[in-house]
Structure 1
Amino acid sequence: MQLTETLADELAQEALAVATKLKDDSVIGRVAEAIGASSTTMEEAFLTAVRIRRAETRARALLGALREGPAAPPPPEDVQKNA
């Protein structure tokens, strides 16, 4: 059901923001537990949305790093000594 996924994604975004702000990943588990007490379907959708959002964040970080290119390596020591 589209409503389930929409609500789960909204909750996932909010929970991830709170977890990041508090630097406490247990927020995700606590929210999942609260949701699961009423609806295991919603809990599964929430946890899936969390995984998707985290995967997106990792992928965007990787793309950003690749976009900037590799850092120039320092010159070899013998070149530095002769400078």
Structure 2
Amino acid sequence: MGVVDDLGDDLARQTLEAMEEIGDDRFYYEVAKVVGASSPTLQEAFLTSMRIRLAAARGQKFVEETLRIKRGAGKAPVAPPDTTAH
């Protein structure tokens, strides 16, 4: 990664921790506004890292929930529909 990507990813990790601590899952939008006022390039790197990390967390939660329910003989969660298929 380049310096911009590294800085954006570091800020994304810190922001995710802050979001958990303050209980605000939209806090990263505020951080993005602050960053974007000075550097749109860093803002985009930050938002890209946030989207990737949030998506990975949702995917991990889905896998864990599916396994937990499957092991308990419950009904597995349903994945959202694929909106990219035409």
TM-score range, shorter chain: 0.7 to 0.9
TM-score computed with the length of structure 1 as normaliser: 0.76
More helix by share: 1
Q: Which AA in structure 2 matches 1:72?
A: A
Letter in 2 for 1:8: G
- Using a 3 Å threshold, how does the CA distance of structure 1 residues 26 and 55 change in structure 2: closer, same or farther? closer
Q: In the alignment, which residue of structure 1 is the partner of 2:24?
A: 24
* 1:4-15 mapped onto 2 (5 Å cutoff): 4-15=4-15
Identity of paired residues, percent?
Answer: 36
Aligned residue number for residue 73 of structure 2: 72
Question: What is the aligned length?
Answer: 73
Question: In the alignment, does 2:64 pair up with 1:57?
Answer: no
CA offset at residue 50 of structure 1?
Answer: 0.5
CA gap of 1:26–1:69, structure 2 versus 1, over 3 A, is closer
**Structure 1 unaligned blocks of 5 or more:** 74-83
Deviates more, 1:42-51 or 1:26-35: 26-35
Q: CA RMSD in A?
A: 1.7
Q: Max radius of gyration: which structure?
A: 1
Runs of 5+ in structure 2 lacking a partner? 75-86
Q: Distance in 1 between matches of 2:53 and 2:26?
A: 16
* TM-score, with length taken from structure 2: 0.74
